[in-house]
């Protein structure tokens, strides 16, 4: 029976891919959208819909940015405050600037969607640690062989 193993580099590469999932959610805006700078204007109370039915209320920083002479607003993550006056990079859809994303660590990772990568990372680590025991078996076989050779040498030495 052939035993497969996952290298440390493969494990790390898949961990990185899992960790960039929240950034990948906005891939269309980041690749084809326009980039502009917005300014944090104030902290406002905001209600947003979660999973289509429930609502979540909290405070969010309001970010104002200009596109073709018109002012648009973006909102930071709920219950996270940016300093008023801070300049933030905003990516927006070229046809509809109201479809936008905040290009900061908190803008990508402080969201309800971040739970999924955490769960996937835990499952991937558990899978790797549970089923990747091939190297441990090989190490055990090598050390056992060394012990046998060593004990055989000791027996030969004591017989002489």
Whole-model pTM? Answer: 0.68
Confidence grade of residue 57 (pLDDT, cut at 50, 70, 90): confident
Segment 7-15 mean pLDDT = 91
For residue range 65-86, what is the model confidence (pLDDT) as tens digits? Answer: 999 999 999 998 888 889 999 9
Flag whether 84 is in a domain: yes
**Are the C-beta atoms of 121 and 115 separated by less than 8 Å?**
no
Classify 104 in phi/psi space as left (phi over 0), alpha (psi -120 to 50) or beta: beta
Strands in 70-75's sheet, in edge-to-edge order, are 70-75, 54-67, 34-50, 87-92, 100-102
For residue range 19-53, what is the model confidence (pLDDT) as tens digits? Answer: 999 888 888 888 999 999 999 999 999 887 776 77
Counting the structural domains of the chain, the total is: 1
Q: What is the CATH number of the domain that holds 60?
A: 2.40.50
Phi, psi dihedral angles at 47 (to 5 degrees): -115, 130
Flag whether 134 is in a domain: no
Q: Which domain holds residue 109?
A: 8-119
Phi, psi dihedral angles at 46 (to 5 degrees): -135, 140
Flag whether 31 is in a domain: yes
Flag whether 129 is in a domain: no
């Amino acid at each position: 029976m052939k035993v497969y193993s996952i290298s440390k580099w493969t494990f790390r590469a898949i961990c990185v891919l899992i960790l960039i999932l929240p950034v990948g959610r906005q891939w269309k805006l980041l690749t084809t959208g326009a980039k502009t700078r917005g300014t944090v204007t104030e902290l406002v109370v905001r209600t947003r819909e979660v999973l289509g039915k429930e609502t979540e209320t909290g405070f969010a920083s309001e970010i104002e940015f200009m596109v073709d002479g018109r002012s648009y607003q973006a909102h930071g993550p709920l219950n996270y405050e940016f300093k008023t006056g801070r300049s933030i990079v905003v990516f927006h859809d070229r046809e509809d600037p109201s479809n936008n994303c905040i290009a900061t660590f908190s803008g990508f990772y402080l969201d309800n969607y971040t739970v999924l990568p955490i769960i996937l990372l835990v499952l991937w680590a558990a899978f790797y640690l549970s089923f990747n025991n091939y190297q441990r078996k090989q190490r055990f076989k090598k050390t056992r062989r060394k012990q046998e050779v060593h004990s055989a040498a000791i027996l030969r030495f004591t017989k002489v």
